[in-house]
Amino acid sequence: MEPRRFPLGGTERRLQERLQHLLGKDERLQAAVVAFTGPRAGIEALLVPLFGLLSMFVNATRTITTVAVTERGVVLFDTRGLRRPTQNLQRFDSLAVLGPINDTDGDSWIQVAGTKFWIEGIWSSELYVINQLKRRTS
């Protein structure tokens, strides 16, 4: 059983249902987060007073990916919109590809195979679960 601090909310549950469908019935999802590369979360709020409308293009430079942890390893999914994983991008056979994880308040992030992915606060409880699963296998 995964180490959950809180029950899944509606957003997390819908994401997990979509991912489970993509993974298939023979693989069990343990935790998942929607993450992105590019400028860190919240940078838009800092840029608006300085650069006005140009700050709205920050999201265009981000690549959104869903990081899923299963009993078989880590799977990265291409993600459309903010929470719609569409296809498997890359699969890793163990949690060893997980690098440092910051699951505390503030700038949350996870490193997978050397790439740093930023996490928005809504996914912090799932990031905590991933960190606990990683610690168990270390």
Residues forming beta bridges with residue 80, ordered by sequence position:
84
- Taking CB atoms within 8 Å and a gap of at least 24, the contacts of 72-76 are 72/27, 73/97, 74/98, 74/112, 75/23, 76/112
Q: Indicate whether this model's pTM tops 0.85.
A: no
What are 51's two structure tokens?
Answer: 């650069």
Q: Is residue 3, in this structure, part of any structural domain at all?
A: no
Number of folded domains that form the chain:
1
- 2 domain residue, yes or no: no
Burial class (CB within 10 angstroms; exposed 0-12, middle 13-18, buried 19+) of 44: middle
pLDDT tens-digit map of 56-76 = 555 566 788 999 999 999 999
Query: Which domain, by its residues, includes 47?
Result: 10-137
Task: Write the CATH number for 93.
Answer: 2.30.29
In a domain, 4, yes or no: no
Does 106 reside within a domain? yes
Q: Is residue 5 part of a domain?
A: no
pLDDT tens digits, one per residue of 75-131: 999 998 767 899 988 999 999 999 999 987 678 999 999 999 999 888 888 999 999
CA distance 86 to 83: 10
pLDDT value of residue 73: 96
